[in-house]
Structure 1
Amino acid sequence: MLKLYWGFLIFLFVFVCHAQEKQVTVYWTEQPIVLDGMLTEPQWARAIPAKDFWQYFPTDSVLSKNNTEIKMLFDKKYLYVGIAVEAIGNDFIVPSLKRDFRARGNDNITLIFDTFNDGNNAFVFGTNSEGVQREAFLSGGGADNSDFNDSWDVKWENITKLYDDYYIAEMKIPLSNFKFREGETHWRFNSYRFDTQSNERSVWVNIPQNQSVISLAFAGDMIFERPLEKTRVPFAVIPYISGDIRKDYTLNQSDQSFSVGGDAKIPLGNSMNLDLTINPDFSQVEVDEQVVNLTRFEAFLPEKRQFFIDNADLFGGFGNTQANPFFSRRIGIAKNLDDENIENSIIAGARMSGKLTKNLRIGLLDIQTAEDRKNEIPTNNNAVIALQQKILDRSNIGFIFVNRQVTNDPDFLAEDETFNRVLGMDFNYLTKNNIWSGKAYLHKSFIPGDDGKSFSSGGFLGYNTRFWKFNFGSTYIGKDYQADLGFVTREDIFTIDPVATRIFYPVNSSINTHTIELRSNLTFSPDLDFLLTDGMVDLEYQIQFTNQTSIEMALNHTYTYLLEEFDPTRSDGLTLPAFTDYHYTKFDFTYRSDLRKTFSYSFRTDLGQFYNGEKYSLLGEAGLRIQPYFVASIKSSINYVTLPKPYATETILFIGPKFDITFTKNLFWSTYIQFNSLDEEFGLNSRLQWRFKPLSDLFVVYNDNYKTTPVSPGGRALTLKLTYWLNI
């Protein structure tokens, strides 16, 4: 009877903790806080902490093993955060001192601030036990990791201090870094923590494991002791000077250049910002990872240029992965006469984005690119208008207009290339508890002489509960739909994409979860009487172990009807003829080791049929850390594609080692080497970065490129760039 009584009390406690809304009060302070990692000021004693974190992993139904307490204060200029993080020891994992670390395999605490209480967008600040900072902008409701943009950068301060079985972090975040309404007294807030020693991830407001740990559907309340005043957001000027020396060994030409330009950030109240750029230079941007693409379609690469990052979801969140009307990487890149991507200089640009009212976001962008007569590239004006109106609990309706317009009259330009426009509307649906999600969109493109089949439409509806997930999507892209500033995989398609997932949660097992997923994709050609051109059925089984290793197995059957000739080996051999079809089946196996280990790795193998032949693939990643100063990693793949004669057989190899050295929190050296046998090129990018002041950097970048058949130098460049962030 006594056991039953205590069991009932425990159940009641858990039920009450789940049911009540958590909140933390942010107290006003007249005296500024000095960051020392001690929390000894009397103001901290007054603050009542946010505490009682819940486990998210390995389970989500008990309180965290180790306490985490977060206190908050504020004054006219700053939000002060004091965090006490308990642990079972001081064997913390800190792979690197470099800013914007990844959370997995790292002891850290992260804070999420939903300043407009809309459950869609939030500001993220985090630190680890060594005081390394990271910040990010969260969009799309935090449905998955793609909504987490850590390229967003702002100035703020952080100090941590280690003790025997805990550490204390003190943050001083300018209120001007947040967007919020004057007079606001309430923000939504959550926090998550990675504790590698206890093999635990925890959250302040409980989040079910079937939901993302960054989901904005789950948050408590930050209550400010007095209304927030209008903040003075500083006017920022970010000039740069850059010089480089280049040599093209293929043409036996040397070149030197020197450029000056910069950006400006002009605040428009608490919620809007105007970004300006003149002659921007992106030579310091981290090099893209090469992708071995054996499909018939273009690969998507993420945007990394800082000018395009702020509120990037407002401009780039329209449509879907098959038909996105605006993809910022199109600006500043163009095709030369050999249909190769080359840099197309940006003359100047302006970008305004933010909240116009509590529920209305607005984005305006206008960028002018230069003429390149040698490569028959005209000067273009690239403009975007984006609006997003919140409706219901967490949903919104969006409107976008994209315009690319040639602003001169070159003699090499065809009439149908003078402009391209896209007009569209999206509806994004999220329920308060994130069980249902959905999207619907309709876009129309305009080019000179289009015949009307220039629409794109589609959407999906998703259902997500603890044990079951369902998703059904569909996309239509007309044969004349064209988005020059967007990302469109191909035209003249109608697709349906059903997915069903069942999740199991074993009790008292070394397995945390195991999942069975069945997904399918069917693609038809509307212009060919809805001929089936592509079909796929994929059955997957995934196991997530409590020690953070995982296994995935998949059986995949694919159907392809070629509308154009195609060489699956990419070897310039005999192509498979158009208007032929193929059925092929393969088996995939993936293993991922525990990222907490000094040496971690993953590998994937694909075995099976490929078009009219076979393909055997092995893809691997490995990482070694000597914390916190050195991380070495490598990505590699080998694809052996064999087709029956007279078609080709080819071995495609990619290898990409990377070395990161962090001498201090302000001095970093990164070297990335890539070899891709498809391109027959060997490339090296080495970048030294000295952050001599907050967000002010000196970069030294060395690039080297070699042709491999035969081995010969291709191009070499040394770039020196200085940027300085000045607040006025």
Structure 2
Amino acid sequence: MTKLRDLLGFASAADRAAAFLIAFMLIMVVAEMQAQNVQAVRKSVGAERLTTSIQIDGSLEDDAWQTIRSTQGFQELSPQPGTQPQFDTEVRFAFDDAALYIGARMQDDSPDSILHQLSERDRMANTDEFGIWFSTFDDGLNAVRFSTTPDGVQVDEQLSPENNDQSWDAVWDVACQIDSLGWTAEFRIPWMAFRFPDEAEQTWGMNMYRTLRRSREESVWNPMDPTQKLLNQGGILRGISNIDPPLRLSLFPYVSAYGVSANGEISSSYNGGMDLKVGLGNAFTLDMTLIPDFGQVVTDALVLNLSPFELRFDENRQFFKEGTDIFNKTGTFYSRRMGEEGRLLNATKISGRTGSGTGLGLLQSIATAEEDTSLVSYTVAVVDQNLPNNGYVTTSGTMVVREGEGYDAWVQAAKFELRNRNNTWSVTGNGSINQKFNAAPSDDDEGHSYGIGIQKISGNFTFDAGHYLESEAYDPNDLGFLTAPNEIASFATFNYRMYEPRGRFNRLRAFISVDHNQIETPRTFNNWGLEVGGRATTRNFNTWNLSINSQPTTGNDIFSSRIDGLVWKEPGWYSIDSWFSSDYRKTFAMDVGGWYGGGDTYRDWKERTLRLAPRIRISDQAMLTYVWKIIERDNERGWLMVDSLGGNDLKSVWGSRDNIERTQVLNLTYIFSNRMSLSARVRHSWSQVRYDRFYTLSASGILENIDMSAPPGNLQHGAYDVNYNAWSIDMVYRWIFAPGSEINVVWKNQLQQDNVGIPLPSNYRENFSNMIDSGFVNSLSIRAVMFIDYSRFKQGLKGFQG
């Protein structure tokens, strides 16, 4: 029993208590899952087959619309759930063998008061909105969403339990008009935008929503409980039957040209390639990119990293952002790894879902290694099965194979969620193992992790409790991302949310969270933490947030020393965090935030943050946002280096330092139309680190002062001070000249500067002057992408020949 207890990580009394609590709640949930429940009646609407064509112009005057029955009866979701919205919304559905058509009338007694700020595609500004999501397998888990504004701005995304993928861009048409009755929207969504069962009669889960921005009112077609999840509260779309969609084959050829100026030299390059999408039946799609070009992606938000852990950056490459939710479900895939070791040559993904609810995915790419021309192969394979009551079970495998002498790596993972009939409780679990082949003898080549949790997922009161373990040798980082393994943790979070207006508030939330952490090998207490907080949104839609966080006791940090087996006794600390966000409907809005932290062990070590973020809506076409943030860490204790300091043994050398980080981000956008925009982002991160005292980390985990009157080794004041700059300008002109086809012109201005051991500049002007002297890298590029739909191309060719 002791061995089993140790294997599962329940060595301490606190963990055994947490395990008992989780087991007790699991029994409650299983019992709850057996209970019978009468599900709420779902609204339904039928789509009707067209006998005449529809012109997508935003007008609903076509003869075809006049004979199609409409559905209405929307219900308010926010701020007054369950009440009648201010204005009616009326929607019709039609289809033919090429596409699904939607005609929507949003009534409004004051059409001149409709808010309709223009924005780029996939970005919603200060505007009214009408949208609809479709769960084509009606599984309550996966869906695609399409929405628009009175100006015809297009927004689409894939929805899943893990995240919403707004990078997914389908090719579809929409047109809108504002008239004396309100505004209208007319959609044409080709079947190639959907994946659906291979059945004669389609039954899709579906819901529609409308936002009346001037009153911040949100309403939905199928009634929703705001305390529950989104996708399990849809209605039903019926009537789509006997469709014979054309072959789903589309090509996206591109050409690009680059000019780069750096260090007084100018260079140029030209590229060409193609993306390919092929429908494999109605439910699966193959995506391929040949000779990819990612030179126009937005610059990473670089910062000075003094921690022992790798920084995680967002994926900005479109191919790896779009439609990859199934590959990320087990949490062992980090797409930035693909091509990280060198140049990416190609990538292919196949994904879809069968009629029985089985999702399948395969993602494979080839890249060259950074140090030579050898190849590296990356592969991700996923099987995802829908379960009753919107549950699922997923298994995935990742594999990295390196040509030549490099080692290979493999990770196998599984994850599940079980829900009761009411969708009020869930049980979750996950596990993974990793193995390295041909690795160095000093490397542990096998590791594992697991986790289990229990959640109450609906109602005003919710909670999440769980336990997980990551072994010392667990390392999924060849194709995944994990900052720190060798951990055992138990946690619980309790939330109370008020969704209906009460007194001065529209929404309220309060929470308390506690966690207990251990080192897995050797089994040692690490730390425990407590956080309490709350958030309130007032009747005038200003939001306030406050949280207090604490690690009350001294912890054991095994990573910061950078020497195996040497532990730092991390001091206990506390912090308070608060922010305010004003109503974004106003021409001028402001976000303000502050953070303050400290501890008892080192009373002179204090940290504070201030963030100011004004937003100015210059017009319905122009928008400016600015972020100014400063983080000050006074007398911070931090690792400096591993050095013998003139002796025989290596020591972990630390310092007391003043660490100041300043970040500014300016975003300016001008929207010419719903298909053309000009945007600019200017970002500057400036950090200064000044050391004034030095220490060695003792075997007992305590920092021992170094006498600098006779400095050991080469240790000296000023030699390790850091001045770091990360500067970038990303200016983008985008013109969508046809559905799926666009031209992008991008100017980039970049600099990364990391100076150590030189006098620190005394002010911003001096620092910027030094940046100019070191030189910036400028690049100007143009990229044109053309969308070619095989079915339309074939029809056009027949017409030309005829």
TM-score (norm 1): 0.87
Letter of the aligned partner of 2:471 in structure 1?
G
Letter of the aligned partner of 2:235 in structure 1?
G
Distance in 1 between residues matched to 2:308 and 2:370, nearest whole Å: 29
CA contact (8 A) 2:197 2:354 kept: no
State the shift of 1:314 in Å: 0.9
Distance in 2 between residues matched to 1:76 and 1:556, nearest whole Å: 57
The answer to whether 1:347 aligns with 2:340 is: no
Residues 363-382 of structure 1 mapped to structure 2, 5 A cutoff: 363-373=361-371, 378-382=374-378
The answer to whether 1:107 aligns with 2:102 is: no
Gaps spanning 5+ residues in structure 2: where? 1-38, 638-654, 688-723, 754-766, 791-802
* Change over 3 Å in CA distance of 1:481–1:508 after alignment to 2: closer
Q: Find the counterpart in structure 2 of residue 154 from structure 1.
A: 170
Q: Find the counterpart in structure 1 of residue 538 from structure 2.
A: 545
Q: Find the counterpart in structure 1 of residue 431 from structure 2.
A: 442
Distance in 1 between residues matched to 2:259 and 2:567, nearest whole Å: 46
Q: Find the counterpart in structure 2 of residue 639 from structure 1.
A: 631
State the shift of 1:566 in Å: 6.6
Q: Find the counterpart in structure 2 of residue 94 from structure 1.
A: 116
State the shift of 1:82 in Å: 0.7
CA contact (8 A) 1:365 1:385 kept: yes
Q: Find the counterpart in structure 2 of residue 406 from structure 1.
A: 402
Letter of the aligned partner of 2:398 in structure 1?
V
The answer to whether 1:43 aligns with 2:57 is: no
Letter of the aligned partner of 1:240 in structure 2?
Y
CA contact (8 A) 2:80 2:501 kept: no
CA contact (8 A) 2:434 2:475 kept: yes
Q: Deviations over 1:528-554 (max 9, x none)?
A: 21x232432110021122322111111
CA contact (8 A) 1:136 1:148 kept: yes
SS in 1 for 2:389: coil
CA contact (8 A) 1:290 1:674 kept: no
The answer to whether 1:475 aligns with 2:506 is: no
The answer to whether 1:119 aligns with 2:135 is: no
Letter of the aligned partner of 1:98 in structure 2?
E
Letter of the aligned partner of 1:648 in structure 2?
R
CA contact (8 A) 1:379 1:406 kept: yes
* Change over 3 Å in CA distance of 1:227–1:457 after alignment to 2: same
* Change over 3 Å in CA distance of 1:628–1:437 after alignment to 2: farther
Residues 511-550 of structure 1 mapped to structure 2, 5 A cutoff: 511-529=505-523, 531-550=524-543
* Change over 3 Å in CA distance of 1:27–1:490 after alignment to 2: same
The answer to whether 1:25 aligns with 2:40 is: no
CA contact (8 A) 2:137 2:355 kept: no
State the shift of 1:502 in Å: 1.7
Structure 2 residue aligned with 1:501, among 481, 495, 498? 495
* Change over 3 Å in CA distance of 1:705–1:285 after alignment to 2: closer
Q: Find the counterpart in structure 2 of residue 143 from structure 1.
A: none
Distance in 1 between residues matched to 2:359 and 2:610, nearest whole Å: 45
Q: Deviations over 1:271-298 (max 9, x none)?
A: 1111111110112333344568786544
The answer to whether 1:306 aligns with 2:318 is: yes
Distance in 2 between residues matched to 1:463 and 1:59, nearest whole Å: 24
CA contact (8 A) 2:578 2:593 kept: yes
Q: Deviations over 1:451-501 (max 9, x none)?
A: 475001113321033320110122211111122111112110112221001
Letter of the aligned partner of 1:597 in structure 2?
K
Q: Find the counterpart in structure 2 of residue 574 from structure 1.
A: none
Letter of the aligned partner of 1:223 in structure 2?
R
Letter of the aligned partner of 1:519 in structure 2?
S
CA contact (8 A) 1:217 1:432 kept: no
SS in 1 for 2:47: strand
Q: Find the counterpart in structure 2 of residue 677 from structure 1.
A: 686
The answer to whether 1:713 aligns with 2:769 is: no
State the shift of 1:26 in Å: 0.9
State the shift of 1:37 in Å: 2.5
State the shift of 1:419 in Å: 0.5
Distance in 1 between residues matched to 2:223 and 2:732, nearest whole Å: 41
CA contact (8 A) 1:37 1:159 kept: yes
Distance in 1 between residues matched to 2:729 and 2:220, nearest whole Å: 41
Distance in 2 between residues matched to 1:33 and 1:127, nearest whole Å: 19
CA contact (8 A) 2:192 2:279 kept: no
Q: Find the counterpart in structure 1 of residue 786 from structure 2.
A: 724
Residues 382-397 of structure 1 mapped to structure 2, 5 A cutoff: 382-397=378-393
Of 602-611 and 705-714, the range deviating more from structure 2 = 705-714
* Change over 3 Å in CA distance of 1:308–1:228 after alignment to 2: farther
Residues 562-601 of structure 1 mapped to structure 2, 5 A cutoff: 562-565=557-560, 578-601=567-590
Residues 658-669 of structure 1 mapped to structure 2, 5 A cutoff: 658-669=667-678
Q: Deviations over 1:406-465 (max 9, x none)?
A: 02x2xxx5xxx4201101222133445432234211111010356475001113321033
Letter of the aligned partner of 1:256 in structure 2?
S
CA contact (8 A) 1:192 1:204 kept: yes
CA contact (8 A) 2:470 2:520 kept: no
State the shift of 1:85 in Å: 0.8
Distance in 2 between residues matched to 1:203 and 1:36, nearest whole Å: 25
CA contact (8 A) 2:561 2:568 kept: no
Distance in 2 between residues matched to 1:644 and 1:286, nearest whole Å: 33
RMSD: 2.4
State the shift of 1:578 in Å: 4.7
CA contact (8 A) 2:445 2:473 kept: yes
Letter of the aligned partner of 1:326 in structure 2?
F
Distance in 1 between residues matched to 2:507 and 2:418, nearest whole Å: 28
Distance in 1 between residues matched to 2:84 and 2:224, nearest whole Å: 12
Q: Deviations over 1:62-86 (max 9, x none)?
A: 1212111111111111111111112
CA contact (8 A) 1:118 1:394 kept: yes
Structure 2 residue aligned with 1:426, among 380, 404, 415? 415
CA contact (8 A) 2:308 2:559 kept: no
Structure 1 residue aligned with 2:235, among 204, 211, 220? 220
The answer to whether 1:65 aligns with 2:86 is: yes
Distance in 2 between residues matched to 1:726 and 1:640, nearest whole Å: 53
Structure 2 residue aligned with 1:701, among 746, 763, 766? 746
Distance in 2 between residues matched to 1:658 and 1:126, nearest whole Å: 24
Letter of the aligned partner of 1:456 in structure 2?
S
CA contact (8 A) 2:174 2:186 kept: yes
The answer to whether 1:232 aligns with 2:246 is: yes
Distance in 2 between residues matched to 1:298 and 1:165, nearest whole Å: 55
Structure 2 residue aligned with 1:273, among 285, 295, 298? 285
The answer to whether 1:241 aligns with 2:286 is: no
CA contact (8 A) 2:501 2:507 kept: no
> Which structure has the bigger radius of gyration?
2
CA contact (8 A) 2:511 2:533 kept: yes
Q: Find the counterpart in structure 1 of residue 188 from structure 2.
A: 172
SS in 1 for 2:776: strand
* Change over 3 Å in CA distance of 1:127–1:461 after alignment to 2: same
Q: Find the counterpart in structure 2 of residue 491 from structure 1.
A: 485
State the shift of 1:253 in Å: 5.1
State the shift of 1:519 in Å: 0.8
Of 44-53 and 106-115, the range deviating more from structure 2 = 44-53
State the shift of 1:303 in Å: 2.6
The answer to whether 1:198 aligns with 2:215 is: yes
Letter of the aligned partner of 1:96 in structure 2?
L
Letter of the aligned partner of 1:385 in structure 2?
A
CA contact (8 A) 2:367 2:376 kept: yes
Gaps spanning 5+ residues in structure 1: where? 1-17, 141-145, 319-323, 335-343, 568-576
State the shift of 1:671 in Å: 0.9
Distance in 2 between residues matched to 1:288 and 1:203, nearest whole Å: 38
TM-score (norm 2): 0.79
State the shift of 1:221 in Å: 0.8
Q: Find the counterpart in structure 2 of residue 53 from structure 1.
A: 74
Q: How many residues align?
A: 667
Letter of the aligned partner of 1:262 in structure 2?
M
Of 264-273 and 454-463, the range deviating more from structure 2 = 454-463
Q: Find the counterpart in structure 1 of residue 732 from structure 2.
A: 687
CA contact (8 A) 1:96 1:627 kept: no
Distance in 1 between residues matched to 2:75 and 2:274, nearest whole Å: 45
Distance in 2 between residues matched to 1:693 and 1:370, nearest whole Å: 35
